Amino acid sequence: MQTESIMVNMNRKDTSASRLLAKDNLLFLSEASNILNSSLDYNATLVSVADLIVSNIADFCIIDLMERNGHIRRVAVKDADSHLNTFAQQMYNYPPNPKVKGAIYDAARSGKAILIPFAEEEWLKQVAYSEELQIIRRLGLNSHMFVPLKSRGRVIGVLTFASRSSAPFTKEDVVLAEELAVRAGIAVDNARLYKEAQDAVRARDEFLSIASHELKTPLTSILLQLQIVLGSIRKESSEIPTKRLETMLENTEQQSKKLSKLINDLLNISLITTGRLTLDKEKVNFPNLVKDILRRYEEQIKKSNYDVTTEIRNNIFGCWDKVRIEQVISNLISNAIKYGDRKPISIQVNKRNNQALFIIKDNGIGITSPFQKQIFERFARGVSPKHYRGLGVGLYISKNIIEAHGGSIKVKSVLRKGSLFSVELPLKN
């Protein structure tokens, strides 16, 4: 038989397609609905979909789901033959390639099922990596269907069905596979939404617990200092020497500032998540702003014994929200101090292609490559709270502020070698 790729687009309201569903198939689909609706557990739902496919329609199946960034991620692989199943799991190593035509990505893009009644060598060589081809050959798969998974009017993934049988898949099989995909799409989407909601609640609870702890620490210190001062004033006899009083009040002031920053962070998160972050723009002398902030960190830099070098070019003016840009720069500087491992830090302020540029490089603990991808997300923390305090929101707020100005913030880092954060802000707004 010739290789024949057919884009199948059957309208579900079309009675001719519905008629293709035999009574047995309707029974199977009704049972499938019951199974798929029985759990909201994400992993259990994926297992059910794969089981339903390999027990009723195909010898082998793959479930690929669409990520928010448009990439497709492999989430399940199953072979009906338990002896071959372990070997089949190697298909996880070959995620779908967006450049390959006539397979998974095409089914996702077009929203239409693709039927390959018989996979000839030539077609296989086009769609599979050479190692993947070996696996397909060893599994003896020769007929394929790529069926989009849809929910709420969008494609959320693709189901791959494959068969070892000498009788190839037909258009009737596609109809059945599409009907199953309709039910599976809704079940997987619901399970995914439920999981995301659960994860979000867990992250929020964790955040609330860390936030309360972070708020309590400076507050306890403030209360303690105030109690000592008050206690001393009330006892007429004992006086605290002025110098000691000054130190105590300075300490209280410092802790109050910490508290105010934390509350400010919490307020900013609520403004960002509710889309109410507004900018109060004015003319900003960028080099002066950075120098002012650095002056505020002088004491801390000295105390931690940091060697900070700066290269600040003058005459860079932007029209920005000064307070918010100050918050971003302060956050990057305080992170470099916090995570910089007391090794040299360099700061650069420059102008390039009508953009103001701020670069801060430390030689500290660095960030693993997987975490670099999440670093600007809300509540993302790559360090143990035992060693480093923080809420994991500074970079999230910074990114939102910079993007609200039409700019960008990026990170480059090597674990245990250091990190480089760069901010670009448009000079003309």
Positions touching ligand ADP (CB under 6 A) are 331, 335-336, 339, 362, 364-367, 375, 380-383, 390-396, 419
For residue 393, the minimal CB distance to ligand ADP (Å) is: 6
| Cβ at position 140, least distance to ligand ADP in Å | 48
355 versus 400: smaller Cβ distance to ligand ADP: 400
Tell me what percent of the chain is helix, strand and coil, each rounded to the nearest 5: 50, 20, 30
Closest to ligand ADP by CB, 25 or 363:
363
Q: Which residue's CB atom is positioned nearest to ligand ADP?
A: 390
Closest CB 257 distance from ligand ADP, rounded Å: 16
Q: CB nearer to ligand ADP: give 366 or 407.
A: 366
Q: Which is nearer to ligand ADP, 169 or 376 (CB)?
A: 376
- Cα 187-193-198 angle, rounded to 5 deg: 125
Taking the complex as a whole, the smallest distance from the CB of residue 362 to ligand ADP amounts, in Å, to 5
Between helix 23-36 and helix 171-234 the angle, nearest 10°, is: 10
> At its nearest, how many Å lie between ligand ADP and the CB of residue 411?
8
Q: How far apart are CA 308 and CA 333, in angstroms?
A: 10
Amino acid making up residue 70:
G
Decide whether 55 or 300 has the Cβ nearer to ligand ADP: 300
CA distances from 272 to 2, 40, 267, 405, 406 (A): 57, 30, 9, 14, 15
**What is the nearest approach in angstroms of ligand ADP to the Cβ of residue 412?**
11
Specify the residue for token string 């109410």.
276
Q: Which is nearer to ligand ADP, 287 or 394 (CB)?
A: 394
Sorted by sequence, the CB contacts under 8 Å of residue 227 that are 6+ apart come out as: none
DSSP secondary structure letter of residue 91? G
CA 374 to chain centre: 5
